Every structure is written in structure tokens, then in C-alpha cells.
Structure 1
Amino acid sequence: MQEPLLEGMCFTLKYLGMTLVEKPKGEDMAAAAIRRIVATARVGARKFQKVILTVSPRGISLQDADTKEMVENISIYRISYCTTDKLQNKVFAYVAQSQHSGALECHAFLSPKKKIAQAVTLTVAQAFQMALDLWEAAHAGGGRGGGR
């Protein structure tokens, strides 16, 4: 049942925005960050960018749904937290360390349904586990593959 995840599971979502956060994980931190992003998104009259979010054991990649242009590629090792917001239950968010500034960023996405937001969160959790399993397998071979 894990094979499709190795290739990457795709979800079409609307990108709501990003805010900087102080902590790498935590439900309260994420809820506050999502509130800020949603409040800012409601004020702005702009149309949300529709993105294809692909989850795999390598991480999360974001592609513009219309132009198919790659927006961002986030390594699984830079992602510290992901959640579906309790109040805004169609919102999926993740926290990752920026590869440019090193700052912690919370990115939020709107899904068409609550179940899809939950599915993205579960898929990211499975990707974490699979990445860990692959990493452990690579490092358990008794010297093959080299260590870090």
C-alpha cells in the first residue's frame, strides 16, 4: 500500500500564504499561525494560487496548477510539523525551515474538503515514516552506502 507514496501523492490545493513562526512544532503555534495567514488572506483581494502539492518520502513539492511551473521543493528533513487546523478544518499547514534564511515558516493551503486536508496531513506523516525507514535501511547495512 506504500508504493504510490514513493512516487508521490498529489493534491490540488489553494495556497493561502506564509507566516514566520518561533517554534518548529506545536498545535497552539500552528493554530495561531494559520489564524494570521487566513486573516491576511481574507483582507487581500487577490486570487489564491492553485497549486499541486506532491508528497513523497523526499519531501513536499509545489507546482503551479495552471502553468505547471515548479514553485518550491521542500526536503522532508526541513519539515518540522504539519497539521489540519481544528477550526479551519479545510486548511492544511506545514512548518519548514527556509533554505534561504533559515527562518521557520508556516505555509497554509485551502483544500476543497475537510477530508482532503486530513488526507494531506496523514500522507505527510506516512512520508516521514517512510523516509525514516529508508534512512535506517540505508544506514543499517554495516558500512555499505557510507554514513554521514
Structure 2
Amino acid sequence: MAATEASTIVEDLKDERIPNAMYWTVDQVAEWIEELGFPHYKSCFTTNMIDGRKLIRIEASAFPRVGITDFEHIKIIAKSIRDLLTVEEPDWTRSISVPPRSNLGMYLELKSARGKQIDTTTLVQFEQQHSDPKWRPPLANHCLILPHN
């Protein structure tokens, strides 16, 4: 781990808005799933190398591929992950009347990926660089709204 990445983690963990679980190792995630009451799924998480950052992106629909097939367990684990990481409800359940996503949600989504720039970005830097990082739907048809005469 590079020194700048380590200092980024330290800065993030000083920020009380950032859930500590985001930086959990694979073993810490496995311990958490055991404490949640599902010790038989520890190997599902360790075999698939799911650490705290991967927890952010894992969707309930992916659980059968990692070995979790009981629907009730999937619902409990998915909800527990969202609660643990303070991640908002999945996009497909969001109404258009719901306010845009939070800065923290957008940051956690960014940090779920890997890369030098992402690994060295803190929440404070993210907020400074993105004055309004709220999600907006793409306007793929913005030039086709009005018919051409």
C-alpha cells in the first residue's frame, strides 16, 4: 500500500461520516457475516475476496453467484450491508420524487472501485472537487426532444 493511500485511509477514518467497514479486510467482512448469524457464508465472502470496498457494490442479485441462495438470507444480508455502510436504497427502488443521492453515497460508490486516483481521494477532497456531485439522469436524447422542421 502506497504512503498516499495509507494517509487517505487515515484521513477517511478520522471523518465520522465514513463507515469504518469501508476499509475492512476480507477476513473482517467474514467475521462480520459470522456475527450477523451466518457463519456458514464466511467462505462465500473469503473465496470471492469480498472486502469492505466490494461490499459497497455487491447487489443482492449477485449473492447466488457467490453461494448465498436462500432468499430470506439474501434480504437480511443486503439490508445489513446497506445499514453497515450507510448506503442508500438501491437505485431501482428510488422514486423520481426522492431527492438526489447524498454526497457520502456518491463517495462510497466512487471508493468501491480501485485505482491510484480513487485510492488517494478522501471525502473532503471529493466534496471540494465536486461542488454538486448529485446523480442526474443522462440526457441521451437531449438533441432529439423537439422535432426538426
Give the TM-score category using the shorter length. Answer: under 0.3
Q: More strand per residue: 1 or 2?
A: 1
- Bigger radius of gyration among the two: 2
Q: More helix per residue: 1 or 2?
A: 2
TM-score, normalization by structure 1: 0.25
